[in-house]
Amino acid sequence: MQRIGVFVCHCGSNIAATVDVKKVVEMAMCEPGVVHAEDYPYMCSEAGQAKIQAAIKEKNLGGVVVCSCSPRMHENTFRKAAEKAGLNPYMVEIANIREHCSWIHKNMEEATEKAVILMKAAVAKVNLNTPLQAGESRVTKRALVIGGGIAGIQTALDIAEAGYPVDIVEKTPSIGGRMSQLDKTFPTLDCSACILTPKMVEANAHPNINIYTYSEVEKVSGFVGDFTVDIRKKARSVDMSKCTGCGVCQEKCPNKKTPNEFNRGLNNRSAIYTPFAQAIPNVPVIDREHCTKFLTGKCGICAKVCQAGAVDYEQQDEIITEKYGAIVVATGFNMINLDKYDEYAYSQSKDVITSLELERIMNAAGPTKGHLERLSDGKAPKEMVFIQCVGSRCADKRGKSYCSKICCMYTAKHAMLIRDKYPDVNVTVFYIDVRTPGKNFDEFYRRAVEEYGVNYIKGQVGKVIPQPDGKLLVQGSDLLSNKQILKEADMVVLAAAIEPEPGVRNIATMLTASIDTNDFLTEAHAKLRPVESPTAGIFLSGVCQGPKDIPETVSQAGAAAVKAIGLLAKDKLTTNPCTAKADELMCNGCSQCANVCPYGAISYETKLINDHGVREDRRVAVVNSALCQGCGACTVTCPSGAMDLQGFSNRQILAEVDAICR
C-alpha cells in the first residue's frame, strides 16, 4: 500500500462553487492508503505546487492524487513538481473534477458525490502505480533518403543545409527521377531540365550529401535514431574514380539494341550507357544483361577505347553498412501497365502512346529530337486525341481507385504546347471531369481552351479503332450533346494512371512502415502528421505517399526534411515510459501481439526462462520501448494475458472500474 497524498484544487471558484472541496478532502482521508489530504485555491500555482512538494517530503508520500482540471492541462506541471520533491513523476494521478464534473453539473450535492468517486478512482489507480523511467536512446546524426528524384533531392538538400550528413540511395544509374524525363512543367511551362539540373548538381556538390546511384537498400534493422542499413552498390563495371565522362565508350559500343528506359523504350541505347546527357554522376554503367562481353565473352571494345582505363569487367557488387538516425522514403511512381486497357489499342498501334512517352517525344533529347511525329511512319500528325482517366478512378480490378491528380494539368500542358508549336494540329481532349485545384491551375486550363482552342469533350472513349490506312478512329461519348462520336486521329495520347514504384512494397516491409491497399505509404495521421510514417523515424516525401505534382512534392519534401532535422537535432530521445511489456513467464510466443502492433515494436527472442524451477528455452515477445507508442492494442489481443501496458495496466484500470462501481 502506497502512502498517498490527495490535493484538492478550488480553481478559484471554478471547482469550489459546485464541488464541496472540504467534503472531498474529508472523504479522501477515509480512503485506504491516504495519509494526507488538503485543499488549496490554486494547486497549479507556485504556492500550490510547494504544498505538494512539502507534503511529499514531510509525509514521505509514495503517490499523489491531484483533484483539479483535466490532465491534458496540468498533468505535466504536477509531475514535474513531484519529481523536484524526489517522487517519481509517474506516481502522480489527476482526478479531473473540473471539465468532467464542476463545469457540467449544477447541483452541488451531485457534483460533490461525483468528485469524491473520481478522487477514489484516482487513489485506487495510484495505489497500483509503479515508478516509471522515461528511457533514452541515442540519435545517429545522419539521414538516409531512399530515392533520388526531385522529392529525394529536395529532402536531402534541406537536411544537408541544416548541417547533417545525408545519403541518397537511387536504384537507377543517375539521380533525377521522373522529373528528368519531363519536357516542360506546368503551370509556368519552364523546361524541366533547366530547373532540375541545378538541383542535381547542387546535391552532387554538397559536402553533406553522399549519393549512391545504381544502388538499393537491402536490409534495415534498428529503430528511430539508430537504424542500421545495408546498401547494395551494384557493380557498375566502370570505376567512378577514373571515369571522365567523355562518352566514347557509349559511342563505340557495338550493341545498341537495348530498349532505352529513359525514353520509355521508344528507342534503343547502347549496353554501356548513361541514362541521359545531364546524368549525375556522369559515369556510365554496363548493363550486364545486354552486354556482349558479359553474354558471350567476346567484345571488350569499351575497355579498349577508354583512355582513362575506367572500364572494369571484374567489378563486384558491394555492400555498404551505415547507421542512420532518420530515414526518408522518396521512391516515387511509375505509370501503370496498360495491358488490360487494350480497348485503347495501346499494344496494337505505335501511335497510341502514354503521356510520359509524349513527354519524351516532345523533348529535344528524346527519340524524335523533339519533333512531334507518329512513331509508326514518322509523319506529322494533324489530329491528336487525348484520353483522360485511363486506369484512374476505376472501381474494377483493372485500374486504380484513386484520381492520379496530375493528368488534368499535364494534358492541358501538352495540348497547349502542341497548339503553340504546331498551330495546324487539332487537339481534342476527352475528359470525365477536369480537376485543377492549385495556384494558377484552373487559369492555365482555361487558357488551353480559350486561347489555344483545345477542344474539350466531356465523355470517355469506348474504343480506339486502328484503320488499315494507319489512322485511328476514336469512338467516344460527347455527353453534353448526347452523341456518340467517331473522331479520326493521327495520334492518341493516354493519361495512364500513376502507381507507386513497384519496389516500394519491399522497402516498406524492411522499414515496417505501413502501406495502403494501393501500395502508397501510410501517414501517421492523415491531417496532422502527413509526412511521417506511423513507424517512428521514417518520413515520407513525394508520390510514395500519394499522387502529387511537382510543387506539392517539393513542399512535402521540405516538410519531411524538417521532421528529420527535428529528430537529428536531438542528442538523445526520451521515450514514453508508458509502453507495453510482456511477462516472459506467461508469454507463449504466439505472435498475435506483433500482428496488431502498428509500429513493428514487438519482436521475438528465444530466451532461457526459469519457470518456477523449470529452466527452458522459450520464444517470447520483446517490446522495443523506443518504438512502442503505448496504444495498448497488443494487451487486449494477447490470449495469455502476458502483455500489459505500463501506466495503464490491467490492474490499474480494473481498480478504477471497481472504485467507480463501488
Partner 1 sequence: MKYSYYPGCTLKNKAQALDMYARASASVLGFELEEVSEWQCCGGVYPLGSDEIATKLSSVRVLNEAKKKDQALVTLCSACHHVIKRVNDDMKNVPDIYQKANRYLQLEEDYRGETNVYHFLEVLRDQIGFDKLKEKVVKPLTGKKIGAYYGCLLLRPSSILAFDNPENPKILEDFIRAIGAEPVIYPYRNECCGGYISLKEKDMSKNMCEKITQSAEGFGADMLITACPLCMYNLNKTESKKIPVYYFTELLAEALGLKED
Partner 2 sequence: MSINNNSEFKPKIVAFCCNWCSYAGADLAGSSRLTYPADVKIIRVPCSCRVNPMFILRAFEKGADGVILCGCHPGDCHYTSGNFYARRRMTLLFSMLDYIGVENGRTRVEWVSAAEGVKFSATMNSFVEKIYSLGKNVRLEDLRCKN
Partner 3 sequence: MKSEKKQAEKIKEISGVNPLKCMKCGKCSATCPSFAEMDIKPHQFVSYVQNEEIEELTKSVSLWKCLSCFACVERCPRDVKPGKIIDAVRQLVEREKDGDYLSPNEIPELLDPEIPQQLLVSAFRRYRR
Contact positions vs partner 3 (CB under 8 A): 343, 389, 393-396, 398-399, 432, 458-463, 475-477, 479, 482, 484
394 binds partner 1 (CB under 8 A): no
What does the H/E/C string look like for 90-113?
HHEEEEECHHHHHCCCCCHHHHHH
Smaller CB separation from partner 1, 304 or 463: 463
Q: To the nearest whole angstrom, how small is the minimum distance from the Cβ of residue 466 to partner 1? A: 5
598 binds partner 2 (CB under 8 A): yes
DSSP secondary structure code for residue 544 in this structure: G
Q: What residues does 216 pair with on adjacent strands?
A: 232
- In the chain, what is the straight-line distance between the N-terminal and C-terminal CA atoms, in Å? 19
CA distance to 127, 207, 566, 609, per residue, from 330 (Å) = 49, 21, 18, 43
465 binds partner 1 (CB under 8 A): yes
Region from 432-440, 475-483, 494-502, 631-639 binding partner 2, contact rule CB under 8 A: 631-639
In a 3-state reduction of DSSP, which class is residue 186?
coil
* The three grid cell numbers given for residue 526, joined into one nine-digit string: 492523415
Smaller CB separation from partner 3, 291 or 389: 389
From the list 173, 333, 347, the residue with the least C-alpha distance to 261 is 173
* The three grid cell numbers given for residue 580, joined into one nine-digit string: 507495453
Q: To the nearest whole angstrom, how small is the minimum distance from the Cβ of residue 251 to partner 2? A: 53
Q: Which does 393 bind (CB under 5 to 8 A by kind): partner 3, partner 1, partner 2, none?
A: partner 3
Q: To the nearest whole angstrom, how small is the minimum distance from the Cβ of residue 372 to partner 2? A: 45
Residue 450 contacts residue 465 (beta carbons within 8 Å):
no
For residue 440, the tally of other CB atoms under 10 A from its CB is 12
526 binds partner 2 (CB under 8 A): yes
Residue 542 contacts residue 147 (beta carbons within 8 Å):
yes
Q: To the nearest whole angstrom, how small is the minimum distance from the Cβ of residue 332 to partner 2? A: 23
Q: Which does 465 bind (CB under 5 to 8 A by kind): partner 2, partner 1, partner 3, none?
A: partner 1
Region from 103-111, 215-223, 248-256, 353-361 binding partner 2, contact rule CB under 8 A: 103-111
From the list 121, 113, 96, the residue with the least C-alpha distance to 9 is 96
Query: Which are the contacts of 269, defined by CB distance < 8 A and separation ≥ 6?
Result: 256, 258, 259, 260, 261, 262
Q: To the nearest whole angstrom, how small is the minimum distance from the Cβ of residue 585 to partner 2? A: 20
> Using CB atoms within 10 A of its CB, is residue 116 exposed (0-12), middle (13-18) or buried (19+)?
buried
463 binds partner 1 (CB under 8 A): yes
Q: Which does 526 bind (CB under 5 to 8 A by kind): partner 3, partner 1, partner 2, none?
A: partner 2
Site string for partner 2, 555-584 (x = CB under 8 A): -----------------------x------
What is the DSSP annotation of 418-445? HHHH-TTSEEEEEES-----STTHHHHH
Q: What residues does 57 pair with on adjacent strands?
A: none
Q: Which of 62, 71, 165, 391 binds partner 2 (CB under 8 A)?
A: 71
> According to CB under 8 A, which residues from 506 to 525 bind partner 2?
514, 522, 524-525
117 binds partner 2 (CB under 8 A): yes
Smaller CB separation from partner 1, 201 or 486: 486
Residue 247 contacts residue 303 (beta carbons within 8 Å):
no
Q: Regarding beta strands 580-582 and 643-645, do their DSSP bridges make them parallel or antiparallel, or are they unpaired? A: antiparallel
Smaller CB separation from partner 1, 396 or 617: 396
Site string for partner 2, 343-372 (x = CB under 8 A): ------------------------------
Smaller CB separation from partner 3, 224 or 387: 387
- How many H-runs (helices) and E-runs (strands) does the chain carry? 17, 34
Q: To the nearest whole angstrom, how small is the minimum distance from the Cβ of residue 458 to partner 3? A: 8
d(CA 611, CA 614): 5
Q: To the nearest whole angstrom, how small is the minimum distance from the Cβ of residue 2 to partner 3? A: 60
d(CA 549, CA 399): 20
> Using CB atoms within 10 A of its CB, is residue 143 exposed (0-12), middle (13-18) or buried (19+)?
buried
Smaller CB separation from partner 3, 106 or 397: 397
Q: Which of 468, 528, 617, 662 binds partner 1 (CB under 8 A)?
A: 468
Q: Which of 48, 176, 534, 542 binds partner 2 (CB under 8 A)?
A: 534
Q: To the nearest whole angstrom, how small is the minimum distance from the Cβ of residue 370 to partner 2? A: 46
Q: Which of 467, 509, 603, 606 binds partner 1 (CB under 8 A)?
A: 467
Long-range contacts, stretch 390-398, CB < 8 angstroms, 24+ apart: 390/338, 390/341, 390/344, 390/494, 390/495, 390/496, 390/497, 391/336, 391/338, 391/341, 391/496, 391/497, 392/495, 392/497, 393/432, 394/497, 398/340, 398/341
Smaller CB separation from partner 3, 258 or 436: 436
> According to CB under 8 A, which residues from 292 to 351 bind partner 1?
339-343, 345, 347-348
636 binds partner 2 (CB under 8 A): yes
d(CA 133, CA 131): 7
For residue 428, the tally of other CB atoms under 10 A from its CB is 20
Residues that bind partner 1 (CB under 8 A): 339-343, 345, 347-348, 397, 463-469
Residues that bind partner 2 (CB under 8 A): 70-72, 96, 98-101, 103-107, 110-111, 113-114, 117-118, 121, 514, 522, 524-527, 534, 578, 596, 598, 629-633, 635-637, 645, 648, 650, 653-654, 656-658, 660-662
